[in-house]
């Protein structure tokens, strides 16, 4: 579809007409599936017809001068005029649907619009034109949202990636982008994706969760949260590990809230998600290559550069490659309290991943030296997990102690122990202490005047000590 210019896209306020909330798909009980799809096909044919007529009567330049809401109103009026000219008038509910869908198509992201407007969704997953899923309250469910066909979906994808100056087609079928509201988008198109264009949106949450929220949700106990507070305040070097969507960034954001207001913090991210409230924060963002494949600024370039910016702390959104080396160096050379997230299934795996990232980054160092570097720079690893029932839990607070022979030694201060299942698909478990009373971070706590808080939190945590600590890892 030719009209609907990229720079307008997604900046439209929602129309004032109230749309029904998007509901999970239910089996169609009162109508057969074939009659529903016949009705859809009929509607699609009408929409194509109206779209054709619309291009002729709408002056794109004129629209540019209109405020967003006025543009919606003008287009809606034009669509209604076109529909009124049809020999067989449509029932009013069909008119409303054609108007809503076409306005979203022309000015926004088409069928995605109602999903984007729904604040409680965390992810939107489009697997080809007919299969749309959302994550709502930790559960993935299918919704009754569809695109007309692959071309329609690809057009919407195109519009999204054009916001960051990219194109998606057969020659460049993978693309990351960001919506104007900060939501992160990944598109992978055919021939790589076999079901048609596949779009994954991680919606941006304006109101980030706080540590208190995590306690309220049962993701961590109050004493666990207290430990995290101490770790943040005492400027521990920290890695947050976990799988995709486990809550790493959320946790990093919570911990960053304990950074002092007078510290200079430089953050490096692929797409700015962290929302630090301190006044002296410099957020940096990587840049993908342009259409000619040039001009890419990678995470490593940013981290290296931010070392020249006199930071007190460095926060790296996601450590994925050679920047691991620079972050560890920073931690080792006076930028105490630096932190980053690593994609891993356990704290121990996070350390292995860091090692591989450094080796893979072209640093020709013996494995033992890399491990020593990891052991010397990182104080604590906090691990987040998304359990199989959809709940997100902070499963480990683990201290990195040092080296024994070629192995990095750690000790668990706090972990989540899975005890079973309640029979209704919910995981049953509890947080337990590691039995440690004088942790490695004790001198730091003393230095920053946090020893009492630390001792109290550990005492409560250690009231339940895991008989088998490794069991706490999920």
Ligand X SMILES: Nc1ncnc2c1ncn2[C@@H]1O[C@H](COP(=O)(O)OP(=O)(O)O)[C@@H](O)[C@H]1O
Stretch that binds ligand X, among 69-77, 94-102, 163-171, 248-256 (CB under 6 A): 248-256
* Between 221 and 246, CB nearer to ligand X: 246
Q: What is d(CA 172, CA 339) in angstroms, rounded to the nearest whole number? A: 33
State which residue has the least CB distance to Mg ion: 249
Give the residue at shortest CB distance from ligand X.
Answer: 247
CB–CB of 430/423 below 8 Å?
no
CB count in 10 Å sphere of residue 304: 17
Q: Which does 219 bind (CB under 5 to 8 A by kind): ligand X, Mg ion, none?
A: ligand X
Using CB under 6 A as the binding criterion, the count of chain residues that bind ligand X stands at 15
Tokens describing residue 179: 């919506």
258 touching ligand X, by CB under 6 A: no
The Cα 361–Cα 355 span in angstroms is 10
Kind and range of the H or E run holding 457:
helix 451-461
Integer Cα distance of 322 and 355 in angstroms? 10
Beta bridge pairs of residue 139? 136
Closest to ligand X by CB, 143 or 225: 225
Burial of 30 (0-12, 13-18, 19+ CB in 10 A): exposed
Bridge-based pairing state of the strands 198-202 and 427-433? unpaired
**Among 128, 247, 311, 433, which residue interacts with ligand X (rule: CB under 6 A)?**
247
> Which of these, 111, 124, 129, 113, lies nearest to 190 by C-alpha position?
129
Q: Is 205 in the site for ligand X (CB under 6 A)?
A: yes
- CB 430 → ligand X: shortest distance, Å? 16
How near is the Cβ of 247 to ligand X at its closest, in Å?
Answer: 3
Comparison of 135 and 312: residue with beta carbon closer to ligand X: 135
Q: Assess 242 for contact with ligand X (CB under 6 A).
A: yes
Residues for the chain: how many in total?
A: 474
By CB under 6 A, is residue 245 in contact with ligand X?
yes
The region of 104-112, 188-196, 211-219, 408-416 touching ligand X under the rule CB under 6 A is 211-219
Cβ proximity to ligand X: between 122 and 186 the closer is 122
Helical packing angle, 222-233 and 248-256, nearest 10°: 60
Residue 217: name its binding partner from Mg ion, ligand X, none (Cβ under 5 to 8 Å by kind): ligand X
d(CA 315, CA 267): 5
Partner from Mg ion, ligand X, none contacting 122, C-beta within 5 to 8 A by type? ligand X
d(CA 474, CA 460): 23
Phi, psi of 358 (to 5 degrees): -70, -45
Q: Measured from the CB atom, is 223 or 270 closer to Mg ion?
A: 270
Contacts of 390 (CB under 8 A, 6+ apart): 137, 138, 139
For residue 418, CA distances in Å to 298, 317, 336, 345, 389 come to 39, 29, 34, 15, 12
Under the binding rule (CB under 6 A), the answer on residue 267 touching ligand X is no
Report cis status (omega within 30 of 0) of the bond before 195: no
Q: Is 271 in the site for ligand X (CB under 6 A)?
A: no
Which 91-150 residues touch ligand X, going by CB under 6 A?
122
Angstrom distance (rounded) from CA 47 to CA 83: 10
Between residues 241 and 415, which has the closer beta carbon with respect to Mg ion? 241
Instruction: Give the nearer residue to ligand X in terms of CB position, either 173 or 245.
Output: 245
- For the bound state, the minimum distance from the C-beta of residue 321 to Mg ion, rounded and expressed in Å, comes to 16
Among 49, 46, 40, residue whose Cα is nearest residue 146 = 40
> Binders of ligand X among 212-231, rule CB under 6 A?
214, 217, 219
Minimum distance, C-beta of residue 462 to Mg ion, in the bound complex (Å) = 31
Least spacing, CB of residue 318 vs Mg ion, in Å: 6
Instruction: Point out which span in 109-117, 240-248, 258-266, 283-291 binds ligand X (CB under 6 A).
Output: 240-248
The least distance separating ligand X from the CB of residue 240, rounded to whole angstroms, comes to 8
* Site residues (vs Mg ion, CB under 5 A): 248-249
Burial status of residue 138 (CB atoms within 10 A of its CB: 0-12, 13-18, 19 or more): middle
Which range binds ligand X by CB under 6 A, 12-20, 34-42, 159-167, 238-246?
238-246
State the residue for tokens 């890695």. Answer: 239
In whole angstroms, how close is the CB of 219 to ligand X at the nearest point?
3
Q: How far is the CB of 117 from ligand X (least distance, A)?
A: 16
The vertex-138 CA angle with 132 and 142, nearest 5°, equals: 20
Within 10 angstroms of residue 273's Cβ, the number of other Cβ atoms is 22
By rule CB under 6 A, what string of x and - marks binding of each residue 382-421 to ligand X?
----------x-----------------------------
Q: How far is the CB of 212 from ligand X (least distance, A)?
A: 11
> What are the residues binding ligand X (CB under 6 A)?
122, 205, 209, 214, 217, 219, 242, 244-250, 392
């Amino acid at each position: 579809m030719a009209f609907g210019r990229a720079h307008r896209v997604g900046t439209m306020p929602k129309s004032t007409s109230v749309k029904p909330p998007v509901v999970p798909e239910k089996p169609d009980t009162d109508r057969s599936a074939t009659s529903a799809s016949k009705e859809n096909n009929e509607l699609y044919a009408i929409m194509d017809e109206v779209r054709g007529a619309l291009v002729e009567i709408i002056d794109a330049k004129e629209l540019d001068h209109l405020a967003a809401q006025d543009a919606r109103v003008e287009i809606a009026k034009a669509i209604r005029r076109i529909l009124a000219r049809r020999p067989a008038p449509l029932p009013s509910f069909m008119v409303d649907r054609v108007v809503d869908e076409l306005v979203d198509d022309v000015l926004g992201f088409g069928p995605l619009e109602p999903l984007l407007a729904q604040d409680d969704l965390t992810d939107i997953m489009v697997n080809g034109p007919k299969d749309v899923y959302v994550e709502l309250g930790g559960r993935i469910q299918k919704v009754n949202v569809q695109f007309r066909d692959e071309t329609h979906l690809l057009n919407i994808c195109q519009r999204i990636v054009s916001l960051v100056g990219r194109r998606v087609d057969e020659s460049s079928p993978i693309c990351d982008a960001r919506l104007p509201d900060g939501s992160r988008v990944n598109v992978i198109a055919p021939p790589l994706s076999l079901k048609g264009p596949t779009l994954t949106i991680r919606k941006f949450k304006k109101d980030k969760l706080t540590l208190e929220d995590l306690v309220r949700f049962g993701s961590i106990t109050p004493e666990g949260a207290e430990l995290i507070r101490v770790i943040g305040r005492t400027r521990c070097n920290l890695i947050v590990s976990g799988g995709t969507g486990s809550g790493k960034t959320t946790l990093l954001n919570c911990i960053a809230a304990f950074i002092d207001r007078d510290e200079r913090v430089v953050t490096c991210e692929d797409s700015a998600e962290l929302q630090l409230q301190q006044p002296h924060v410099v957020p940096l963002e990587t840049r993908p290559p342009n259409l000619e494949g040039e001009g890419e600024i990678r995470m490593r370039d940013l981290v290296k550069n931010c070392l020249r910016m006199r930071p007190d702390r460095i926060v790296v959104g996601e450590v994925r490659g050679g920047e691991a080396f620079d972050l560890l160096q920073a931690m080792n050379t006076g930028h105490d309290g630096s932190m980053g997230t690593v994609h891993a299934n356990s704290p121990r795996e996070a350390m292995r991943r860091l090692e591989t990232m450094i080796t893979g980054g072209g640093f020709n160092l013996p494995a033992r030296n890399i491990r020593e570097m990891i052991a010397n720079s990182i104080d604590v690893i906090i691990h987040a997990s998304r359990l199989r029932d959809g709940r997100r839990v902070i499963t480990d607070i683990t201290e990195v102690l040092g080296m024994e022979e070629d192995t990095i030694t750690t000790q668990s201060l706090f972990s989540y122990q899975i005890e079973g299942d309640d029979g209704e698909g919910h995981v049953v478990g509890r947080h337990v202490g590691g039995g440690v009373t004088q942790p490695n971070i004790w001198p730091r706590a003393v230095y920053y005047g946090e020893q009492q808080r630390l001792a109290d939190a550990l005492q409560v945590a250690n009231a339940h000590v895991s008989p088998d600590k490794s069991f706490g890892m999920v």
